[in-house]
Amino acid sequence: MQVSFTQADIAAIAAPIRTVGATTEVIRGIASLGSAKAGDISFLGNPKYRPAVASTHASIVLLPPDYAGKPGPNQVHMVVDNPSVALARLCSRVEQTLWPRPAPGIHPTAVVAPGASVAASATVGPLCVVEPGARIGEGAHLQSQVFVGRGSAVGRDCWLMPGVVICAECTLGDRVRLHPGVVVGSDGFGYEFVSGRHEKVPQVGTVVVGDDVEIGSNSTIDRSRFERTVVGEGTKIDNLVQVGHNVVIGRHCLICAQTGIAGSVTLQDYVVVAGQVGIVGHLTVGTGAMIAAQSGVKDDIPPKTSVWGTPSLPLLLAQKISILKNRLPELFKRVEALEEKAGGKRKARKG
Amino acid sequence: MQVSFTQADIAAIAAPIRTVGATTEVIRGIASLGSAKAGDISFLGNPKYRPAVASTHASIVLLPPDYAGKPGPNQVHMVVDNPSVALARLCSRVEQTLWPRPAPGIHPTAVVAPGASVAASATVGPLCVVEPGARIGEGAHLQSQVFVGRGSAVGRDCWLMPGVVICAECTLGDRVRLHPGVVVGSDGFGYEFVSGRHEKVPQVGTVVVGDDVEIGSNSTIDRSRFERTVVGEGTKIDNLVQVGHNVVIGRHCLICAQTGIAGSVTLQDYVVVAGQVGIVGHLTVGTGAMIAAQSGVKDDIPPKTSVWGTPSLPLLLAQKISILKNRLPELFKRVEALEEKAGGKRKARKG
Amino acid sequence: MQVSFTQADIAAIAAPIRTVGATTEVIRGIASLGSAKAGDISFLGNPKYRPAVASTHASIVLLPPDYAGKPGPNQVHMVVDNPSVALARLCSRVEQTLWPRPAPGIHPTAVVAPGASVAASATVGPLCVVEPGARIGEGAHLQSQVFVGRGSAVGRDCWLMPGVVICAECTLGDRVRLHPGVVVGSDGFGYEFVSGRHEKVPQVGTVVVGDDVEIGSNSTIDRSRFERTVVGEGTKIDNLVQVGHNVVIGRHCLICAQTGIAGSVTLQDYVVVAGQVGIVGHLTVGTGAMIAAQSGVKDDIPPKTSVWGTPSLPLLLAQKISILKNRLPELFKRVEALEEKAGGKRKARKG
């Protein structure tokens, strides 16, 4: 990133409660306390890094109200309510320079079908394809090489990054952000076994993605057999996630990378799914449930429950069993000792 | 989907044995019994939903011959041999309206090399690239932004969806359906460690995909080191699946999402692999074997065997061990009780 | 592949120590000993295939110095120092015919922004997009439908295959090879939970990929929150791998398919990660460590340590526990026998 902020610029963004020290450095980078050098801004977010503040070379440090140390020479301490939030505000400003709002309009190399509608303030970038009947909302941005299929709708201020594919008849809400290579609306995986062959069950449903959803690179969301696959408002999905047909994901869920959700699963609201989890088809995961990494879920999960393992169990039980499993060598020895004491003869066993 | 069927249209497609009742509704959607409303068609597939027929709001319900109830007002019961099959036939009709057969021809924005051959009835959509020596068969459809590399062959009536990449010298049979983002023929993962560096082992083999294969979004099939990676006739592969170099997959297999098959594995015919399975290189999985979800397979699997777990074991044994593992807290207590009874002194242990 | 080598051509490439026999066949394929036919070249790499040499139908066989057998009629034995290396040298030659070096220049259908710089010897293929401020190095090859974002740099002799996406402000070293569908620089997965919603933490860092890195199809490398996500020189990454934001991968690592590395993990040099591994955020994996397939790593791994399992343990311990776990049915019976012998009454238990 190529940024350039003076101390005064930073103060205007971070709105500090008080400022100690001054610097002549122009801020050109953001860095953690340990790796920052002159010209960087840094911050104290996690309290465990508190000792690192005294030795950081950052020119400006965002600090919480209870921090008591003094800045070094040519260094500034800006005390703010919440250093993480202040930094995020600065990063938002940087983001605008990374990805400036493109001018509205349709790039001459884009292929927009006569029957498609593109809002006046939308941007359709180079080499995009918009099929007949598709509708692109106000302020939406199809960045480059995006495909929007027949009859699909892209809401206001959506951002579809390079290589995104929206198949036919799908709907995206407003402010949806799809990272490169995301596929929305590919066929669900459904076959009937007839006369020794897997005959395709046509997948003629659709996908509905709510407002403020974000989906990570190369993730795939299958259309339903009929009816709708749903991703609820505000839900965030990481990279390389698979969402099967007829899945209904609630609002404000977090789904980490490489998780797979089989067909017809329901996730209620505020569910958190860690990475590489697999969820068997037709289950319900209750509101606020948490599923730890690499779990294999094969039963419904009640609301506000944390689970782990394959098959998954309540988190504390799963952790206990995991620890006891690691003590199996000891347990085998203890049983052997008991057997010897009991005088019973038993066949020698390997291991 | 935007469909519109009268009762007579549906009867013509479903060919009912008998029809009870009548409706003036035009059918505009397909829905499950529980969620259907007026204007929808529904069906009784799974017997466990039989009680839901009486209360459904669907305007037309497809029912099996042994169903005895009566339709409500403005509702039709159509009795058919197999409601699922009748519905699939209707869905096939809907599918044609979702994705109408495109007109043959090469879109003016496609880049077809002089040395490539495209059959007269094939469709090469916008912004596709077809390299020299590639051959596109009769009725094949490269939908949009597809890449077909030098010397590759795409069979009759294939459908390659947006963003599909076929690398050089690969072969697709007839009626192959590749979902968006599928990559066929990328290099296998092979290196030799020489003088502290991983030197690339060139991957100069190819990939051969049989007739009637379907591959899900963003799945990847690597070309072999030399010789051929093979996906057999009628095999169906879900999304985000990885098939390594030199893998040979037989006919009519099912491979669910996010499974990874390492190099030189052989799957014989009719193998079923559930989601997120990993198979170690150079193994053979016998005809009709089944591998349960998230298994890690590191030994050959005999034909018609079901396995589960990491490392995988015969299914019933794996399930037994999984249950016993969950009883470890109990087992530790029982051993402790025995030790106390035996009067033996032993060191206190945590956990 | 369409190749054609005479015996003399092969001898020129393989530089044999000695040659026994002669063949009139033109070499048109490479095959393993067991499947080779007349017109193929084969080789003895792995000693366990030694017996297969006598019965192979290959026209030319590359053999190690200690092989003593005689060739059949119209068959050649070429004795070389290292048959695998000799074959790799031949495959490199074949590779050049598969993917001939393209002519330099910008394809007329590519969209190269005025503010971008493309070296004179670089090739920008059909339907690529190069945004303002991007720099494409000497000899680099953007094959087809590639995207290179604003301000990104692609080094000398890089090869970006169809559908690769490089987001803004990322840097690739020299000779980097990215397979189809790779995404470099998508946003890391970071949110703050504010007032019942997940508010996006802007991801304004970048990705730096070192020289001689190779990344497999549809893998995704996220940009850092601020600072840099790093893939070190000479590291090789397989297909469908996820690398989270702020990850730092050292030099000459191998990372197999479908592995996921969560945010802020450090891999030091020469780490080997097998397939479908998950690594929890903020950990350090030491130089030369090896992580076995499907492991779930949740603690730092010391240098030169091999681990396996979820959660991962030192390899030998994990293997021992895995074996003991499979003996749980036996252990339960042994404890039961002890209980009966001890005469203690205990409640009947299921299982």
- pLDDT tens for C80-97 read 999 988 998 888 888 887
CB proximity C88 to B under 8 Å:
yes
**One domain for residues A286 and A170:** yes
Among A98-102, B141-145, C344-348, which range has the highest average pLDDT? B141-145
Active-site residue identified among C77, C141, C179, C245: C245
Whole-number pLDDT of residue A351: 41
pLDDT the model gives residue A99? 78
Domain that holds residue B282: 106-316
The 10s digit of each residue's pLDDT in A139-171 is 999 999 999 999 999 999 999 999 999 999 999
C169 or A89: which carries more pLDDT confidence? C169
Same-domain status, A66 and A162: no
Residue of A nearest to C295 (CA): A294
Average pLDDT over residues A247-273: 98
Amino acid at A322: S
Angle in degrees, CA C7, C85, B283, rounded to 5: 105
Q: Are A222 and A245 in contact (CB under 8 A)?
A: yes
For chains A and B, CB pairs below 8 A equal: 184
Examine the domain organization and report whether A234 and A184 are in the same domain: yes
And the tokens for A340?
């010897």
- State the CATH number of the domain containing residue B27: 3.40.1390.10
Asked if the structure places residue B331 within a domain, the reply is no
Rounded Cα distance between B155 and B137, Å, is: 5
B19 by Cβ neighbours in 10 Å (0-12 / 13-18 / 19+) ranks as middle
For residue B325, the cross-strand partners are none
Identify which of A158, A97, A91, A173 has the alpha carbon closest to the alpha carbon of residue A128: A158
pLDDT digits (tens, 9 = 90+) for B185-237: 999 999 988 889 999 999 999 999 999 999 999 999 999 998 999 999 999 99
**Do C63 and C110 have their domain in common?**
no
Give the nearest partner residue to B242 out of C107, C257, C351, using CB atoms: C257
Interface test with C, best of A236, A239, A251 (most C CBs within 10 A): A239
Sheet holding A242-243, edge to edge: A111-112, A129-130, A147-148, A165-166, A183-186, A220-222, A242-243, A260-261, A278-279, A296-297
**B315 close to A (CB below 8 A):** no
Helices C328-341 and B315-326 pack at an angle, to 10 degrees, of 50
Per-residue pLDDT band for B2 (boundaries 50, 70, 90) equals: low
pLDDT of residue A350: 47
Between chains, do A1 and C218 touch, taking CB under 8 Å as contact?
A: no
Asked whether residue B339 is assigned to any structural domain, the reply reads no
Task: Give the Cα-Cα-Cα angle C175, C179, C180 (nearest 5 degrees).
Answer: 140
CA A145 to chain centre: 23
pLDDT at residue B98, rounded to an integer: 74
Helices and strands: H and E segment counts in chain B: 4, 38
Quick check: is C119 in a domain? yes
Based on the domain organization, do B110 and B66 belong to the same domain? no
Would you put residue A347 in left (φ > 0), alpha (ψ -120 to 50) or beta? Answer: beta
CA distance C116 to C134: 5
Distance CA B77, CA C68 (A): 80
- The reply to whether A260 touches chain B by the CB within 8 Å rule is yes
| Angle (CA) C234 C155 C122, round 5° | 130
Helix, coil or strand: residue C60 = strand
- CB contact under 8 Å between C126 and B111, yes or no, is yes
Last residue of a domain, one of C57, C74, C98: C98
Q: Shortest CB distance from B331 goes to which of C84, C98, C335? A: C335
Q: Could you confirm whether A198 is annotated as catalytic? A: no
Higher local confidence (pLDDT), C10 or C3: C10
CA distances from A348 to A336, A340, A345, C304, C331 (A): 10, 12, 9, 35, 13
Reported as a pLDDT band with limits 50, 70 and 90, residue A346 is low
Structure confidence at residue B295 as a pLDDT band (50, 70, 90) = very high
Please tell me whether residues C69 and C119 are part of one structural domain.
no
Assigned domain for A331 exists = no
Instruction: Categorize the per-residue pLDDT at A344 as very low, low, confident or very high, splitting at 50, 70 and 90.
Output: low
> Is the bond preceding A126 in cis, omega lying within 30 degrees of 0?
no
Q: What is the pLDDT of residue B48?
A: 82
pLDDT band, residue A2 (cuts 50/70/90): low
Q: What is the value of ipTM here, to two decimals?
A: 0.92
- Type of residue at C97: T
Distance separating alpha carbons of residues A275 and C244, to the nearest angstrom: 11
Q: A180 and A163 in contact (C-beta within 8 Å)?
A: yes
Chain C contact probe: residue of B135, B144, B147 with most C CBs at under 10 A: B147
Together in a domain, B58 and B176:
no
C329 contact residues in B (CB cutoff 8 A): 317, 320-321, 324
Cβ–Cβ gap A276/C278 under 8 Å: yes
Q: Look at A26-35, A107-116, B169-178 and tell me which has the smallest mean pLDDT.
A: A26-35
Q: How far is B298 from chain C (nearest CA, A)?
A: 10
Q: Please judge whether B293 and A313 are an interchain contact, meaning their C-beta atoms are less than 8 angstroms apart.
A: no
Cβ neighbours, 10 Å, residue A24: 9
Domain end call among C98, C125, C142? C98
Which range among A48-52, B20-24, B35-39, C99-103 shows the weakest confidence by mean pLDDT? Answer: C99-103
Q: Where are the beta strands (DSSP E) in C109-222?
A: 111-112, 117-118, 123-124, 129-130, 135-136, 141-142, 147-148, 153-154, 159-160, 165-166, 171-172, 177-178, 183-186, 191-194, 197-200, 206-209, 214-215, 220-222
| Dihedral pair phi/psi, residue A315, rounded to 5° | -55, -50
Tell me the C-alpha distance between B102 and C66, whole Å.
Answer: 62
Name which residue leads in pLDDT, B349 or B138: B138
Question: Nearest 5°: CA angle at C106, between C104 and C112?
Answer: 140
Res C177 pLDDT > 60? yes
User: Hey, are the CB atoms on A226 and B342 less than 8 Å from each other?
Assistant: no
* Res. C240: pLDDT tops 80: yes
Q: Do A1 and C167 touch (CB under 8 A)?
A: no
**In this predicted structure, what is the pLDDT of residue B340?**
95
Q: Tokens 């996500």 — which residue?
A: C229
Q: Is the pLDDT of residue C218 over 90?
A: yes
| Per-residue confidence (pLDDT) for residue B351, from 0 to 100 | 41
Q: Could you give phi then psi for residue A333, rounded to 5 degrees?
A: -65, -40
What letter would DSSP give residue B223?
P
Burial of A54 (0-12, 13-18, 19+ CB in 10 A): exposed
Closest CA to C166 of C222, C99, C84: C222
- In A200-327, which residue ranges form alpha helices assigned H by DSSP? 315-326
What pLDDT sits at residue B1? 53
Reference B238, options B270, B275, B183, B288; nearest CA is B275
The set of residues, in sequence order, having a beta carbon less than 8 Å from that of A270 and lying 6+ positions away, is: A250, A251, A252, A253, A287, A288
Count of residues in chain A: 351
Partners of A331 on chain B (C-beta within 8 Å) are: 331-332, 335
Please indicate, yes or no, if residue A339 is contained in any of the structural domains.
no
pLDDT digits (tens, 9 = 90+) for A83-102: 988 998 888 888 887 778 89
A:200-259 residues touching chain B, CB 8 A cutoff: 200-206, 218, 220, 222, 225-227, 240, 242, 244, 258
Q: Based on the fold, state whether residues C206 and C301 are members of the same structural domain.
A: yes
pLDDT, residue C97, reads 75
> What is the pLDDT of chain B when averaged over all its residues?
94
pLDDT in tens, A181-200: 999 999 999 998 888 999 99
Which tokens go with B302? 């005999």
**Are B94 and B119 in the same domain?**
no
Domain count along chain C = 2
What are the tens digits of pLDDT across the range A113-130? 999 999 999 999 999 999
Same domain, A90 and A131: no
Task: Closest CB to B239: pick one of A169, A186, A327.
Answer: A186
Asked if the C-beta of B102 comes within 8 angstroms of chain A's C-beta atoms, the answer is: no
User: Which residue, among B147, B214, B276, B319, would best test binding to A if mutated, counting the most A CBs under 10 Å from its CB?
Assistant: B276
**Segment holding A34, helix H or strand E:** none
Q: How far apart are CA B216 and CA B211, in angstroms?
A: 16
Whether residue A275 sits in one domain with residue A165: yes
Name the token pair of B149.
């590399």
Distance between CA A243 and CA C102 in Å, rounded? 39
Tell me, what's the pLDDT at A3? 77
**Could you tell me which chains touch chain A, where touching means 3 or more CB pairs under 8 A?**
B, C
CATH number of the domain that residue A202 is part of: 2.160.10.10
The residue whose two tokens read 């992580």 is C291
Selected residue of A142, A148, A187 to mutate for chain B interface (largest B Cβ count, 10 A):
A187
The answer to whether B92 contacts A163, with C-beta atoms less than 8 Å apart, is no
Which two structure tokens, joined as six digits, stand for B133?
A: 């020596």
User: pLDDT digit string (tens) for A272-315?
Assistant: 999 999 999 999 999 999 999 999 999 999 999 999 999 999 99
B229 in any annotated domain: yes
Task: Provide the whole-model pTM.
Answer: 0.94
DSSP for A97-142? HHSPPPPSEE-TT-EE-TT-EE-TT-EE-TT-EE-TT-EE-TT-EE
Q: Which is higher by pLDDT, A331 or A46? A: A331
Task: Give the pLDDT mean for C42-50.
Answer: 89
- CA B195 to chain A, closest CA, distance in angstroms equals 32
Query: Distance (Å, rounded) from C-alpha B238 to C-alpha B218?
Result: 9
Residue B75 within any structural domain of the chain? yes
Above pLDDT 90, what percent of chain A?
A: 85
Single-letter code of the amino acid located at A75: Q
Measured CA distances, B77 to A136, B41, B296 (Å) = 41, 10, 48
For residue A63, list its beta bridge partners.
Answer: A79
Place C345 in a pLDDT band, splitting at 50, 70 and 90.
low
Arithmetic mean of pLDDT over chain A: 94
Distance CA C203, CA A109 (A): 30
Q: Which of A50, A78, A98 is the last residue of a domain?
A: A98
B1 lies in a domain?
A: no
Secondary structure of residue C155 in the 3-state scheme? coil
**Cβ of residue C138 closer than 8 Å to a chain A Cβ:** no
Tens-place pLDDT, residues C271-306: 999 999 999 999 999 999 999 999 999 999 999 999
Over B35-97, what HEC string results? CCCCCEEEECCCHHHHHHHCCCCCCEEEECCCCCCCCCCCCEEEECCCHHHHHHHHHHHHHHH
SS3 A163: coil
Q: What is the pLDDT of residue A94?
A: 84
What would the pLDDT profile of B238-284 be if each residue is shown by its tens digit?
Answer: 999 999 999 999 999 999 999 999 999 999 999 999 999 999 999 99
Average pLDDT over residues C126-135: 97
Q: Do C112 and C76 share a domain, yes or no?
A: no
For residue A192, count other CB atoms closer than 10 A to its CB: 13
Q: Which residue has the higher pLDDT, C252 or C47?
A: C252
